[in-house]
Structure 1
């Protein structure tokens, strides 16, 4: 009896939703799967679909058509679906979208058209009637540009993903879209950011321009990005930046300038970035920081300076962020003289830095900075070369080889002369005189060796040659 009551109660709970459930599944397109949890979802992905179904459940809240072979979207391609919130058409073969293809979807919030390599052109009226659209994904297509007025009705658009296309400039259609919060433009072919490229984007929080060909940034190009928090400019061709490139970006939390061609850091670049927490300057060609370059970075937690051409890091430049959380300095040709003694002490005290291999001076080359010992003479720090190595170390092997070669040559020359003298003596029948001449030649030869050894000793400072002189 209790089971019957429970079943009846359960059916009563389902009764108000029953029409929607039955409608969602009853009108499900062939080859698709329709489910009703909170909303009606239509799953038509990976079914080798060539043409769109003639109709979808009118209660559909989301439709997934990913990884099919769709090529063409006609006008009102999806009919009228007033409840549709999300439509995904990723990884198809779409080459043309008829103006008005998305009419009849007045409440669509998310549209995904990524990874359609044949989309090269979009009509100005492609997205007509999608007035509530908040997120549009056109990444990894073959777009070279977009019409300036293509988003004239998309006043609610917040996220625009157009990375990995063929844009040579920042699309002009972005100007004035004050509701945009996230823009993804990475892996395009953008060469410059003009002064008016990003005008009016006053609510933008995330901007990704990494892996382009940007070599020029105009003055005040970012002046309207007052709420920007995350900024990616890494892996471009920047040799320099405008003196006040990031002026007024007081809300910036992270900026990535790694993988460029920067050699110097100006004290004006980061002067307004009081909220900056993470700064990437890695994989550049940095050799110099202007004093005061980091003085206003009072919130900085992590600084990446690895993979540059840095030989020193002056304390006067670094002092304002002395208590930074993480500092990355590896892959630089560090000169571990007294100029880095402060950093050595900081490493010991805070244990926040490691892997700082010394490239010079030669006495500590190959050591990590943490292993270098500094000493003081009359209250002054003594550089490792003065402390550990006062004279150059001779190459014993090379010098000894030269010595043996010279001795061998001299011996051969003397033997030849003695053989000639002996032969002449035998011819003249004066064998006794020849023996005496050989004995008398020994002191002369020894004297010659002494002179040679003294010269070598003076030049190479090899102690073992002194014994040779004493033997003679």
Structure 2
């Protein structure tokens, strides 16, 4: 009898997942790019490949993102949801896309920043929330986004307020735009210690104060074109040592305080066009500064004189300083002595004209800077400079010296502060 030995060899069967593209969408680069724009979608489509790196869902009819609205997409780094009708983004909506780096939510119907929904997005670097009817930027609105580097908040036409801690936690942010966002004042920016570019153009900001740009040591570009600026307080730019480019064009400025750019040693480009420059002694320091710091091919950026009539139409940088009659500043003598009690507030006044820079020297010989503890310096339109000291103590007593300086010379005056009480 013939015996046949049969050897059964095991066969390894590998099941390969077949990739598919959602209905109506276009998938390219081995399913890494998925384009689902212009499809009238009311929800995120099924069947998105987990290989997807870029997902485009713009120009659809999405109104809300529920928890886990997006599938688990571990490779997704860019999500574009612009031009939808999103009103609600619930907590957990982004649970499946925790590696996202860029999120575009421009032109939706969000009335508030969906802060809690951002919690999984620890790696997000770019966020666009412009053109939404957001009413207020609440405290800690972006606090979960510790890796954020670029924040686009332009065209927030319904914006009514920005909380002091709205930008808390964004120490790594390098770019912030709030162009055309209904701002009347510069928002609180002191949390943004890494900021390099700030664009607040096309708003209704009227005054820049000495506190606006504190704690921005890395700021390189400051854009404030097409606001309604009428004044810039002395020392407003003192902390901007790294600034290379400032744009104050198309505002209502007639002058800038003496020595405004003096500490900005890195400044290379500036744009002062479209203002109402009064080419008198008030701007002589600026004329001299521009002559020493501007390039010949940027002459038109210095702006033109509006007043006086004899100078109207001339470029600011073409004014001849020697033809302008300037005199040494004279301080209008204030009261010699101010008497207060411990715990009260004291106001020391010094008036010397708008073309002068005024500084205060304390009894111990130090010069007061803006933002000093318990001390605020307020400058009024008539040239009056007031040193306000709150919660006065016995150690505050002494002689305070007001020093006024312009391009021609200086003057000083002493006021004695007497403090009584225990």
TM-score by length of 1: 0.60
Aligned to 2:39: 92
Pick the aligned partner of 2:123 from 179, 183, 186.
Answer: 179
Aligned residues: 307
Distance in 2, matches of 1:377 and 1:112, equals: 61
| 2:140 matches 1:199 | no
Specify the alignment match of 1:124 in structure 2. 67
Q: Mark the CA change 1:310 to 1:293 in structure 2 (over 3 Å): closer, same or farther.
A: same
Q: Which residue of 2 aligns with 1:330?
A: 273
1:260 maps to 2:203: yes
1:231 partnered with 2:176: yes
In 1: Cα distance, 2:101 partner to 2:281 partner = 52
Cα separation, 2, equivalents of 1:132 and 1:203:
18
Secondary structure at the residue paired with 2:309? coil
> In 1, distance between residues paired with 2:184 and 2:146?
28
Displacement, 1:183? 0.3
The aligned runs of 1:357-396 (5 Å cut-off) are 357-375=304-322, 380=327
Q: What is the alpha-carbon distance in structure 1 between the residues aligned to residue 205 and residue 243 of structure 2? A: 21
Alignment partner for residue 253 of structure 2, among 292, 310, 331? 310
CA contact (8 A) 2:154 2:180 kept: yes
The reply to whether residue 109 of structure 1 matches residue 61 of structure 2 is: no
Q: Tell me how far apart the structure 1 counterparts of residues 58 and 71 of structure 2 sit (CA, whole Å).
A: 19
Whether the aligned pair in 2 keeps the contact of 1:234 and 1:259 (CA below 8 Å) is yes
Match for 1:138 among 77, 81, 92?
Answer: 81
Larger radius of gyration: 1
Query: How far is 1:381 from its partner?
Result: 8.0
1:63 aligns with 2:27: yes
Worse overlay, 300-309 or 358-367: 358-367
1:278 to 198, 211, 221: 221
Match of 1:220 in 2: 165
Asked if the contact 2:94–2:120 (Cα under 8 Å) also holds between the matched residues in 1, the reply is: no
Q: 2:105 and 2:97 mapped to 1: Cα distance? A: 16
Q: Could you tell me how far apart the structure 1 residues matched to 2:36 and 2:131 are?
A: 21
Superimposed CA distance per residue, residues 112-141 of structure 1 (whole angstroms, 9 cap, x where no aligned partner): 11122x222333232132233221111111
1:354 and 2:296 correspond:
no
More strand by share: 2
Rounded to whole Å, the distance in 2 between the matches of 1:246 and 1:168 is 22
- Structure with the larger helix share: 1
Distance in 2 separating the partners of 1:63 and 1:318: 53
Provide the residue aligned with 2:8 in structure 1.
none
Higher RCO (CA 8 Å, separation ≥ 6 residues): 2
Structure-2 change in CA distance of 1:323 and 1:338 (3 Å): farther
1:269 aligns with 2:212: yes
Match of 1:319 in 2: 262
TM-score (norm. length: structure 2): 0.66
